[in-house]
A and B are shown apart, each in its own frame.
Chain A
Amino acid sequence: RKEVEQDPGPFNVPEGATVAFNCTYSNSASQSFFWYRQDCRKEPKLLMSVYSSGNEDGRFTAQLNRASQYISLLIRDSKLSDSATYLCVVNGNYGGSQGNLIFGKGTKLSVKP
């Protein structure tokens, strides 16, 4: 089983749609979770951290289910500028404080007018 698995996508949605991405991780000792977005041929940029209680940042809501080892990202009212690849990321240095990140392959989102 891969360490971090995501919906393969691509997701093609109209502007204004709500879209949800799912992710599972294999190591139950993982402690830190993130969603990054990566635009074509660019570096990943942090979108948001994911907390156990769930967290929201504007149109973006992230949730974590530790029992199921499952992470989700919900995007409401999609904008054209949301088109990107969304990476589910887990801190791989279990129990440590270092930033060794394990990336999922990413889910590509295309928002159409």
Chain B
Amino acid sequence: GAVVSQHPSRVICKSGTSVKIECRSLDFQATTMFWYRQFPKQSLMLMATSNEGSKATYEQGVEKDKFLINHASLTLSTLTVTSAHPEDSSFYICSAGPRGNIQYFGAGTRLSVL
């Protein structure tokens, strides 16, 4: 099946640090990737849609200057959490799909900001 690789799996950082998370589609090209966030005991919430070669589309309430998305190639999207604060601590997951409707998820990145 399609594979999506996400790195790193775990980040612990100090407040004010910027953290970059990578999402790669390994055996297919993805013009669109999605970034989700999941707080404990909550459902996954879409943060933004990453579009190859163009600007990302952010969901309401998600600060685009805080969560920078770059989708420079058909197999890589990155999410940078700038100047991270403790309230940004969460589980961040990306997804992509070879045919759109069925999405495959990266293993997720657990971010802890101290």
Contact = CB atoms under 8 A, between A and B. Distances in A.
Interface in A8-29: none
A99 B95 contact: yes
Nearest to A6: B43
A32 B93 contact: no
Which of B44, B45, B95 gathers most chain A CB within 10 Å?
A: B44
- Interface residues of A toward B: which range? 20 to 34
B43 A41 contact: no
Interface in B21-48: 32, 34, 42-46
Contact of A45 (B43, B100, B105): B105
Contacts of A43: 6, 93, 105-108
Contacts of B110: 41
A105 interface: yes
B32 A99 contact: yes
Interface of B: 6, 32, 34, 42-46, 49, 91, 93, 95-97, 99-108, 110
16 contacts: A4-B43, A41-B91, A42-B108, A43-B105, A44-B44, A44-B93, A49-B102, A87-B43, A87-B44, A92-B46, A97-B101, A99-B34, A99-B101, A101-B44, A103-B44, A106-B43
Task: Enumerate the 6 nearest inter-chain pairs by beta-carbon distance, A residue then B residue, closest first.
Answer: A43-B105, A99-B103, A97-B100, A105-B43, A103-B43, A103-B44
